Chain A
Amino acid sequence: MMAALLRRERRRDALLPLLSLLLVALVLFMGRLEPLFHAAFPQLETPVYARESFWRLTLDHLVLVLVSSLISVSVGVSAGLFVTRRTGREFEPLVSALAAIGQTFPPAAVLAIVVPLAGFGFVPTIVALTLYGLLPVVQNTITGLRTVPADTLEAARGTGMSARQILWRVELPLAMRVIIAGVRVSVIINIGTATIGSTVGAQSLGTPIIAGLVGDNIAYVIQGAVLVGLLAIVSDLSFERLERRYRIGGEATD
């Protein structure tokens, strides 16, 4: 079983550089594929999105994801830490419920609420993405910290570690794999969801998709969607590698 697992991991490891290369190539040289798209969609006048360069769109997309994820992670991990400490224990149901509401709320609805308050563009998109990405981080932080064995904590207290030392030296390292898994889910969700930011004027890889939908240009939709998809897969594979680094010996994966 272990051998099969390792084989699968190796195969995925080989996939990562390959797909990354493909992603970079497509971002930089989408224009070169014009003959291909032209052949596929002869009825379209401009079969490759050209109002903005794809690398600019990708960069903007990444900034949206990065900023919202950073906020999600810092808020989510802090909230998870708080409710697993003695002082914050009573707040756990409340925090879990709030995070769950954040995720059940459709991002489009969040945009509809935030746009009138904060205007168009970057800010409402960040708010929507942050709320949307919060739940997996909060949940996994709580789960990760809860699964640290009680006897390990007892031993840690018995050796004379302070609460802070126990947190940094024992609890967080042992919970790290589960926390990273939460961040992974959150980031992947946000890579996909960031596209809707384009409906309120935040530039992203959603921009060609929206333009394609509005202007009946299926090629634009494909170009945007393929890049978003590749971005998500590459991020997912990278996170998997990172998670693996925090695997504690003997622990099963997946």
Chain B
Amino acid sequence: MIELQGLTKTYGDKTVVSDISLRVERGEFSVLIGPSGCGKSTTLRMINRLIPLTSGRILLGDEDVTRLPAEQLRRRIGYAIQSIGLFPHWTVADNIAVVPNLLKWPSARIASRVDELLDLFHLDAGEFRDKYPHQLSGGQAQRVGVARALAADPEVLLMDEPFGAVDPLTREVLQNEMRRVHEQTGTTVIFVTHDMDEALKLASRIALLDAGRLVQYDRPIELLTAPAEAFVSDFIGKADLGLKLLSRRWVHQYQQAATTSGDAPHHWETDAQGHPTCLHGGRPTADVPPRVAVTDDWTATPGMTMKEALSRMVWYRVGVLPVIDDAGRLIGEVTLEGVMGRQP
């Protein structure tokens, strides 16, 4: 758990961060978001005191760390930044081992921790341990950067727009990986971004800042459905609010039993293993044949966002998608009516 109490930063008579108080529970993924210059980065950097705070208190667990020497504090807090800042003269293993080394862990423990982290990020330890940063791709380097931040099991992991500088494809992959790593490690994360889609994808709580002030700190769904003030809905964007909402909804929440009986307006055919093979009916327009074969792409999985499921319906011009399990067996369906019928 980490708690910020009345965090304030002024430069001369200019207030950049004004009286921010928020509490991030253990294991929570908290995202600070807001327009440029809203003070989100400054807030983050005050937490590990790369920027000294003007006033306010920071509690880590039950401990007041506001007066703790900055170096000691930073060794308990992971820090990953957009430019990564890997040490170019050190191998990947040395880079990851920085904080454990500073904490004087025994070398055997450090070595096994390095391998464990490389493994966590699906980087082959044998291949990557002895590489140098210039031999890594952008995505790999960022993974190593996050691994370094996680190395000494920090009480909190601070991330300052870590995926801001990579291409959209890599960014998506890294976001998915971050979700997985967060689930696997249960680390408390505070993450700064200006990208609402990224926030919605990752956050369990979102803190929206504007001009140094905390506007709303809530679960993503509340931010979308119960904005505290007009600025919140303006910032989120009204144009695709519905789609943003669906990006926080999962297929398993909308899933219903699949119809296989011939009398229904649409129904599925399955093979002997239970894989869906064919859909009868279920298309919104008359110009498509009444019976179409199921392809790999127009299926949904329980963990998929409803935004993606809806996108597939639109693309394949079907009003219904089969939901399949890991083995590809039909376990249910989601329908266009289902998307519409549920309260946001």
Chain A positions within 8 Å of B, measured between CB atoms, are: 149, 151-162, 165, 170, 173-174, 248-250
Q: Is the CB of B83 within 8 A of A160?
A: no
Q: Is the CB of A151 within 8 A of B84?
A: yes
Q: Is the CB of B84 within 8 A of A155?
A: yes
A-B pairs with beta carbons under 8 Å apart, 25 shown: A151-B81, A152-B85, A152-B86, A154-B83, A155-B81, A155-B85, A156-B87, A158-B50, A158-B74, A158-B79, A158-B81, A159-B102, A160-B71, A160-B74, A160-B75, A161-B102, A165-B102, A174-B88, A174-B89, A248-B89, A249-B133, A249-B134, A250-B132, A250-B134, A250-B135
CB within 8 Å of A: which B86-118 residues: 86-89, 98-99, 102
Name the one of B50, B98, B132, B134 contacting A154, with C-beta atoms under 8 angstroms: B50
- The residues of B that contact A170 with a CB separation of less than 8 Å are 87
Q: Is the CB of B86 within 8 A of A249?
A: no
Chain B positions within 8 Å of A, measured between CB atoms, are: 48, 50, 70-75, 79, 81, 83-89, 98-99, 102, 132-135, 145, 148
The residue on B at minimum CB distance from A170 is B87
The residue on A at minimum CB distance from B49 is A157
How long is the Cα–Cα vector from A158 to B48 in the complex, in angstroms? 7
Q: Is the CB of A157 within 8 A of B88?
A: no
A164 to chain B, nearest CB (A): 10
A188 to chain B, nearest CB (A): 26
How long is the Cα–Cα vector from A153 to B133 in the complex, in angstroms? 15
4 closest residue pairs by CB, A with B: A155-B85, A160-B74, A158-B79, A250-B134
Which residue, B50, B83, B132, has most C-beta atoms of chain A within 10 A?
B83
Given contacts A160-B73, A165-B102, contact A152 B88 (CB under 8 A): yes
Given contacts A155-B79, A155-B81, A157-B50, contact A162 B88 (CB under 8 A): no
How long is the Cα–Cα vector from A239 to B189 in the complex, in angstroms? 48
The residue on B at minimum CB distance from A148 is B88
Q: Is the CB of B88 within 8 A of A248?
A: yes
- The residues of A that contact B70 with a CB separation of less than 8 Å are 160
How long is the Cα–Cα vector from A250 to B89 in the complex, in angstroms? 11
